[in-house]
Amino acid sequence: MPRKAPNNPVIATNKKAFHDYLVHDRYEAGIKLVGTEVKSCRERAVTLTDSYVRLENGEAWLQNVHIATYAFGNIYNHNPKQQRKLLLHAAEIRKLAQTVKEKGGTVVPLQMYFKNGLVKVEIAYCHGKTHGDKREAMRARQDELETRRAMRRG
Protein backbone atom coordinates (compact mmCIF):
# COMPACT_ATOMS: atom_id res chain seq x y z
CA MET A 1 0.00 0.00 0.00
CA PRO A 2 1.57 3.34 -1.03
CA ARG A 3 2.21 5.99 1.57
CA LYS A 4 -0.08 8.98 1.88
CA ALA A 5 1.13 11.98 -0.09
CA PRO A 6 2.09 15.00 2.03
CA ASN A 7 -0.15 18.08 2.10
CA ASN A 8 1.87 19.68 -0.69
CA PRO A 9 2.69 16.96 -3.22
CA VAL A 10 4.88 19.22 -5.43
CA ILE A 11 8.57 18.41 -4.96
CA ALA A 12 10.15 20.87 -7.40
CA THR A 13 9.09 23.23 -10.19
CA ASN A 14 11.16 24.30 -13.18
CA LYS A 15 10.31 28.03 -13.22
CA LYS A 16 13.07 28.73 -15.74
CA ALA A 17 11.32 26.49 -18.29
CA PHE A 18 8.28 28.77 -18.34
CA HIS A 19 10.57 31.77 -18.83
CA ASP A 20 12.72 30.28 -21.58
CA TYR A 21 10.22 28.09 -23.49
CA LEU A 22 6.76 28.12 -25.03
CA VAL A 23 5.08 25.02 -23.60
CA HIS A 24 3.00 22.92 -26.03
CA ASP A 25 2.17 19.29 -25.16
CA ARG A 26 2.34 18.05 -21.56
CA TYR A 27 2.77 14.46 -20.38
CA GLU A 28 2.88 12.76 -17.00
CA ALA A 29 5.70 10.26 -16.61
CA GLY A 30 6.84 7.95 -13.87
CA ILE A 31 10.50 7.97 -12.96
CA LYS A 32 12.77 5.07 -12.03
CA LEU A 33 14.50 5.94 -8.74
CA VAL A 34 16.48 4.11 -6.05
CA GLY A 35 15.56 4.28 -2.36
CA THR A 36 17.85 7.11 -1.30
CA GLU A 37 16.60 9.23 -4.24
CA VAL A 38 13.00 8.83 -3.08
CA LYS A 39 13.98 9.81 0.45
CA SER A 40 15.71 12.94 -0.89
CA CYS A 41 12.57 13.73 -2.90
CA ARG A 42 10.52 13.52 0.28
CA GLU A 43 12.88 16.15 1.74
CA ARG A 44 12.33 18.30 -1.41
CA ALA A 45 16.08 18.22 -2.22
CA VAL A 46 15.56 18.36 -6.01
CA THR A 47 16.61 20.93 -8.62
CA LEU A 48 15.12 20.86 -12.14
CA THR A 49 16.93 23.93 -13.52
CA ASP A 50 18.78 23.27 -16.83
CA SER A 51 17.34 19.76 -17.07
CA TYR A 52 15.97 18.14 -20.22
CA VAL A 53 14.71 14.83 -21.59
CA ARG A 54 16.78 12.81 -24.07
CA LEU A 55 14.88 10.43 -26.36
CA GLU A 56 16.82 7.53 -27.85
CA ASN A 57 16.21 3.88 -28.79
CA GLY A 58 12.56 4.08 -27.75
CA GLU A 59 13.44 5.24 -24.23
CA ALA A 60 13.22 8.58 -22.45
CA TRP A 61 16.03 9.66 -20.10
CA LEU A 62 15.93 12.59 -17.67
CA GLN A 63 19.23 14.51 -17.77
CA ASN A 64 20.79 17.13 -15.43
CA VAL A 65 18.27 16.74 -12.62
CA HIS A 66 20.03 17.19 -9.30
CA ILE A 67 18.61 15.01 -6.52
CA ALA A 68 20.81 15.64 -3.48
CA THR A 69 22.41 12.69 -1.73
CA TYR A 70 20.43 11.45 1.24
CA ALA A 71 21.96 12.70 4.48
CA PHE A 72 21.50 9.38 6.29
CA GLY A 73 22.49 7.24 3.31
CA ASN A 74 25.43 4.87 3.48
CA ILE A 75 28.04 3.81 0.93
CA TYR A 76 25.22 2.86 -1.45
CA ASN A 77 24.00 6.46 -1.73
CA HIS A 78 23.13 7.60 -5.28
CA ASN A 79 24.99 9.92 -7.65
CA PRO A 80 23.15 13.31 -7.58
CA LYS A 81 23.42 14.10 -11.33
CA GLN A 82 22.94 10.63 -12.85
CA GLN A 83 20.53 10.14 -15.74
CA ARG A 84 17.19 8.63 -14.76
CA LYS A 85 14.82 6.60 -16.89
CA LEU A 86 11.32 7.98 -17.48
CA LEU A 87 8.42 5.55 -17.57
CA LEU A 88 6.15 6.43 -20.49
CA HIS A 89 4.06 4.39 -22.89
CA ALA A 90 5.92 3.46 -26.09
CA ALA A 91 3.35 5.37 -28.18
CA GLU A 92 3.97 8.55 -26.15
CA ILE A 93 7.73 8.24 -26.60
CA ARG A 94 7.32 7.68 -30.36
CA LYS A 95 5.01 10.70 -30.63
CA LEU A 96 7.44 12.92 -28.72
CA ALA A 97 10.43 11.71 -30.75
CA GLN A 98 8.56 12.28 -34.02
CA THR A 99 7.49 15.80 -32.99
CA VAL A 100 11.03 16.76 -31.93
CA LYS A 101 12.45 15.33 -35.17
CA GLU A 102 9.96 17.14 -37.44
CA LYS A 103 9.46 20.47 -35.67
CA GLY A 104 12.63 20.84 -33.62
CA GLY A 105 12.26 22.04 -30.06
CA THR A 106 13.01 20.11 -26.91
CA VAL A 107 11.38 18.14 -24.12
CA VAL A 108 11.84 19.57 -20.62
CA PRO A 109 10.53 18.61 -17.16
CA LEU A 110 8.15 21.21 -15.72
CA GLN A 111 7.60 19.81 -12.25
CA MET A 112 8.15 16.81 -10.05
CA TYR A 113 5.45 15.72 -7.60
CA PHE A 114 3.98 12.86 -5.58
CA LYS A 115 0.89 11.04 -6.81
CA ASN A 116 -0.46 8.18 -4.69
CA GLY A 117 2.91 7.90 -2.95
CA LEU A 118 4.86 7.64 -6.22
CA VAL A 119 7.18 10.25 -7.73
CA LYS A 120 5.90 11.60 -11.05
CA VAL A 121 7.39 14.11 -13.50
CA GLU A 122 5.39 16.44 -15.73
CA ILE A 123 7.30 16.83 -18.99
CA ALA A 124 6.42 18.99 -21.98
CA TYR A 125 7.38 19.47 -25.61
CA CYS A 126 8.62 23.09 -25.83
CA HIS A 127 10.01 25.66 -28.26
CA GLY A 128 12.56 28.25 -27.16
CA LYS A 129 11.31 31.81 -26.73
CA THR A 130 13.01 34.67 -28.53
CA HIS A 131 14.18 37.74 -26.64
CA GLY A 132 11.09 39.62 -27.88
CA ASP A 133 8.77 36.86 -26.64
CA LYS A 134 10.35 37.05 -23.18
CA ARG A 135 9.89 40.83 -23.06
CA GLU A 136 6.28 40.50 -24.20
CA ALA A 137 5.56 37.94 -21.47
CA MET A 138 7.14 40.19 -18.83
CA ARG A 139 5.09 43.15 -20.08
CA ALA A 140 1.85 41.12 -19.96
CA ARG A 141 2.63 39.91 -16.44
CA GLN A 142 3.32 43.51 -15.31
CA ASP A 143 0.06 44.76 -16.89
CA GLU A 144 -1.91 42.01 -15.15
CA LEU A 145 -0.30 42.89 -11.81
CA GLU A 146 -1.16 46.58 -12.22
CA THR A 147 -4.75 45.71 -13.14
CA ARG A 148 -5.15 43.57 -10.02
CA ARG A 149 -3.71 46.37 -7.85
CA ALA A 150 -6.10 48.90 -9.39
CA MET A 151 -9.08 46.57 -8.77
CA ARG A 152 -8.08 46.18 -5.12
CA ARG A 153 -7.77 49.93 -4.57
CA GLY A 154 -10.99 51.07 -6.11
Whether 149 has a pLDDT exceeding 60, the answer reads yes
What pLDDT was estimated at residue 132? 82
What pLDDT was estimated at residue 105? 86
Residues 35, 71: contact at Cβ < 8 Å? no
Q: Which of 143, 102, 142, 145 is nearest to 125 (CA)?
A: 102
pLDDT-derived band at 5, boundaries 50, 70, 90: very low
pLDDT digits over 39-91, tens only? 888 888 888 888 999 999 989 999 999 988 888 878 878 878 888 999 999 99
Q: DSSP string of 91-138? A: HHHHHHHHHHHHH--EEEEEEEEEETTEEEEEEEEEEEPPHHHHHHHH
**10-129: which CATH topology?**
Small Protein B; Chain: A; (2.40.280)
The pTM for the full model equals: 0.78
pLDDT digits over 106-115, tens only? 899 999 999 9
Q: Parse the chain into domains and list their residue ranges.
A: 10-129
